[in-house]
Amino acid sequence: MMRIVASAGLLVVLCATAGVAERNLIPTLDNQPDVCPDQPPEPQWMQDIAVRESHKRLLIQQIYRAQSMQRIVEAQSCECPTRYPTWEAAEGVYFEHFAASEYWDIVEATSEYRRQANEIRREAMQICEAAGNW
């Protein structure tokens, strides 16, 4: 019985490993984006957020993403400064509305901003693809 369980476990590991090999994933340290290579980095304070507070960083990222999609659609343009402005506007929304919020309020807001971004993503994507910037 023990031999069957061990064999089954080995089979699972081998199948999982084979799946990774088939995708031919090659790790790289190069973090240069394909489009708009001069994207502004996240503010340092966001990068320094403690792991226990990472839900706050995720919220700011989703605010930024939703704002980006909205700007593209409103401007009908996908120029790099439109798609990737500074983080100031997203930070402003966070500090004004969510900085003192509890965990579950942050999680709910993150979900809402993700939903907003996803609603207009297809329209923004069409604009950006036409500009060769997606």
Confidence of residue 25 (pLDDT cuts 50, 70, 90): low
Cα atoms in the Cβ-side hemisphere of radius 13 Å centred on 66: 21
Distance CA 59, CA 79 (A): 24
Closest to 94 (Cα-Cα) out of 106, 82, 84? 106
pLDDT in tens, 70-79: 999 999 999 9
pLDDT in tens, 53-101: 999 999 999 999 999 999 999 999 999 999 999 999 999 999 999 999 9
Distance CA 124, CA 113 (A): 15
Report yes or no on whether pTM surpasses 0.85.
no
- 42-64 burial, b for 16+ CB within 10 Å, e for fewer? beeebeeeeeeeeebbebbbbbb
Distance CA 108, CA 14 (A): 39
